[in-house]
Amino acid sequence: MGNPDVEIKPASRSDLGKLRSWGFFIPPSFKHHLILIAYLRGEPVGSAYLNLHTGNIDFGVHVVKEFQRMRVGAAILHFARKVFLDLRFRRMLVVRVLRALTKVNESDRIALSFYMGCGGKLLREYRGFRRKARPRKLDILPIEKFID
């Protein structure tokens, strides 16, 4: 369960300035998404874009860096799950694109550990390769080796 002090509210177009993330911002599609904003003591501290057509949390759960590890993300996931169940989705999905085949960077490891720690399960794993001559064989480890 998430932090009981976190309040989750659907966003409107006038709330776009409150959306925060680390590293990137993708404008939401109000036609396709229910945008959630998490507030802690009145301050916006996290967000998620719920795709109302697919049951996916597009672009994942984002929490402002200084509010991470305070169960804000878990509160967002818990709220999102209720929304998707009310919409009659059997499951809620998050897609994570990893940048490398042979290792997982720190932000990907943290995200994977977060989702698994909140009860998520690895449903599918796809690996893509470019056709390229390689001087050595790739040592591709199972993704579970990178999750805490």
Task: Tell me the per-residue pLDDT of 124-139, one tens digit each, with 9 for 90 and over.
Answer: 777 666 666 667 776 7
- pLDDT of amino acid 22: 54
pLDDT in tens, 44-88: 999 999 999 999 999 999 999 899 999 999 999 999 999 999 999
CATH number at residue 5: 3.40.630.30
- pLDDT of amino acid 81: 95
What average pLDDT does the chain have? 86
- pLDDT of amino acid 78: 96
Give, rounded to a whole angstrom, the gap between the first and last alpha carbons of the chain: 19
pTM above 0.85, yes or no: no
Report which of residues 49 and 140 the model is more confident about: 49
Confidence of residue 123 (pLDDT cuts 50, 70, 90): confident
> What percentage of the chain has pLDDT greater than the value 90?
51
Token reading at 15:
């709330």
From 107, 91, 88, select the one nearest 99 (Cα to Cα). 107
**Total tally of structural domains belonging to the chain:** 2
**For residue 114, what are the CA distances in angstroms to 21, 58, 76, 147?**
16, 16, 12, 9
Angle (CA) 78-64-10 rounded to 5° is: 45
Domain membership of residue 28 as a residue range: 1-95
Verify that 45 and 117 share a domain, yes or no.
no
Verify that 27 and 76 share a domain, yes or no.
yes
Verify that 90 and 106 share a domain, yes or no.
no
Verify that 77 and 132 share a domain, yes or no.
no
Per the DSSP assignment, residues forming a β-bridge with 38 are 8, 46
Verify that 40 and 106 share a domain, yes or no.
no
Verify that 146 and 76 share a domain, yes or no.
no
